[in-house]
Structure 1
Amino acid sequence: MDYSPSIITQVAKEEEENATCREEGANQVSPSKKPRNRGFFYSLFCCVSHRETEPRPVKNNVPLLAEENGTLLNVPAEPLLPQMKSNDAGKICVVIDLDETLVHSSFKPVNNADFIIPVEIDGTVHQVYVLKRPHVDEFLKRMGELFECVLFTASLAKYADPVSDLLDKWGAFQCRLFRESCVFHKGNYVKDLSRLGRDLKKVIIIDNSPASYIFHPDNAVPVASWFDDMSDTELLDLIPFFERLSKVDDIYDMLNHQRTSS
């Protein structure tokens, strides 16, 4: 993507401020995953920081200590999610990523954008052009009927919240989690499922970035990164699988079977 020199300057400033805030433990908010450019857009939408190092795998169901700048930090014990609603009792909790999983966003004008979101950075409002992945409407509607759905993105809320308002017509997302809810681990924003406050055998994460679920790979349903292929059918193809998965008591057996058979 092409950026003007002024935006690139703002980007560098934004990333430097974000890095400082992370080291001080301050909460942040921002979007996306595998951007094609490491400028302003990268700072706003990324799940992987500019310091790319290989994250250390962590086994499922093991209490975690997050590692940041070589220092082990205690992960807060307070659950990220509120107590499950009584009408959702027994349902599987499905954690769904946003950028490159459900949508793709860009600062570059797009003629067929589904949404245009104004985002204010350093006193300047920038227009973010958002494309919806094909069949995302059918996918979210059905997922909301079957599961307790949670949006979990490494993006900033100033972008991801208004996108979710427009995207989720049916109120499928019962909770939204943003970058400040991630664990910053070895240069990556990791979505630590053990902090949700849900039984891990009834938690699934749908995400295009393996780094996002490195702590709990056995709970993941990976999807291919999506940018602009309007013939893509991955979300539509996943619906029958999730309809079957919604009936199980322990997600691990079915997910393991799916991995070994595919």
Structure 2
Amino acid sequence: MDNHSTSIITQVSRDEEVNTHLQEKGAQSPASSSSSSSSKKRKNKPQSRGLFHSLFCCFCPDESEHIPDNSKPPLLVEENGSVSKTVKPLLPQIRSQDVGKICVLIDLDETLVHSSFKPVNNADFIIPVEIDGTVHQVYVLKRPHVDEFLQRMGELFECVLFTASLAKYADPVSDLLDKWGTFRSRLFRESCVFHRGNYVKDLSRLGRDLKKSIIIDNSPASYIFHPDNAVPVVSWFDDMSDTELLDLIPFFERLSKVDDVYTVLKQQRTIS
């Protein structure tokens, strides 16, 4: 095993996952003002020095820089909703059945599921992942109400999985998680922009109108280029009484009918 493999082989404990986080940013989840989730504090995706986050986390190991308030997309990306001529859009042409719909980018880890290398008795999925020639078993827990959430979102929007995790883990998880074909496309770590130690999901590279694009994510670092397009959610690990996704459905049902997401999201932040 080489030095790199050795440096990422240690599993990070859940306490470290919960307690180690970046400086909090972003608006409160729309549903949290009217549900039991309002009493929970959002936890950002943790930084890590272990194998776990070399697969899953959107932050690079050993990076301690806080999220800067004035973060800007790389210069090669335009900020008017179009993609620079030098950059190929991340998403294919819109399907005929999705024309006119809002494009919703949905995060995976700690938003829809929680995964661990530590054996979990009640795991919903067990995914074998090969790393440096060794097969590791990844135990995946589904967030409560994720099935209802994904099914309804797929009916209302053009949904895209957008995760900073590696495809060799996230793709098989998505195969098992998405029973309804909710995700029209899947974007993985290579589709992120590496910016100041973080894997950032740059919405301007999608090839979609930013006025009709939304990202659902528990990590503010993931959407620092476009915070006004974000619907933050509480990080989830193993609380089976969590109702975050269920509480979000009515909000998204209303949002699906608008032509400009900025107006609605701005109003919601004012209320929150």
Q: TM-score, normalised by structure 1?
A: 0.82
Match of residue 65, structure 2, among 53, 59, 63? 53
Contact 1:117 1:163 in 2 (8 A): yes
- Percent identity of equivalent pairs: 77
Q: CA 1:228 to 1:218, structure 2 compared with 1: closer, same or farther past 3 Å? A: same
Match of 2:193 among 159, 167, 183: 183
2:51 to 36, 40, 53: 40
Correspondence list, 1:210-225, <5 A: 210-225=220-235
2:27 maps to none
CA distance in 2, matches of 1:227, 1:95: 20
Return 39-48 or 234-243, whichever deviates more. Answer: 39-48
Q: Give CA deviations for 1:198-240 in whole Å, capped at 9, x if unaligned.
A: 0000000000000000000000000000000000000000000
1:147 corresponding residue in structure 2:
157
1:77 matched to which residue of 2?
A: 87
Say if 1:11 and 1:166 are closer, same or farther in 2 by CA, change over 3 A. Answer: farther
Cα distance in structure 2, aligned partners of 1:41 and 1:7: 17
Deviation at 1:54, TM superposition (A): 2.9
In the TM superposition, 1:165-180 aligns within 5 A as: 165-180=175-190
Q: How far does residue 65 in structure 1 lie from its aligned partner after superposition?
A: 2.1
Counterpart among 5, 12, 15 of residue 7 in structure 2: 12
- Which amino acid is 2:45 matched to? K
Unaligned segments of structure 1, at least 5 residues: 1-5, 16-32, 68-73
The amino acid across from 2:93 in the alignment is Q
Residue aligning to 1:24: none
Check whether the contact 2:127–2:138 (CA below 8 A) recurs between aligned residues: yes
Residue type of the partner of 1:81? L
**Structure 2 gap segments, 5+ residues each:** 11-43, 78-83
CA contact under 8 A between 2:8 and 2:51: conserved in structure 1? no
Matches within 5 A, 1:153-164: 153-164=163-174
2:112 is aligned with 1:102: yes
Q: 1:230 maps to which residue?
A: 240
Shift of 1:34: 2.2
In the alignment of these two chains, the number of paired residues is 232
Letter in 2 for 1:166: L
1:46 is displaced (CA, Å) by 1.1
Shift of 1:12: 1.5
The residue identity in structure 2 corresponding to 1:52 is: S
What is the SS of the residue equivalent to 1:150? Answer: strand
Q: Give the aligned residue type for 1:47.
A: C
SS of match in other structure, 1:65: coil
Checking the alignment, whether the CA contact within 8 Å between 1:66 and 1:184 is kept in structure 2 is no
Q: Does the CA contact (< 8 Å) of 2:145 and 2:246 recur in 1?
A: yes
Distance 1:58 1:146, change over 3 A: farther
- 1:16-61 per-position Cα deviation (integer Å, ceiling 9, x unaligned): xxxxxxxxxxxxxxxxx724753111211110112232344568xx
TM-score normalised by L of structure 2: 0.80
Aligned-pair distance for 1:87?
Answer: 1.4
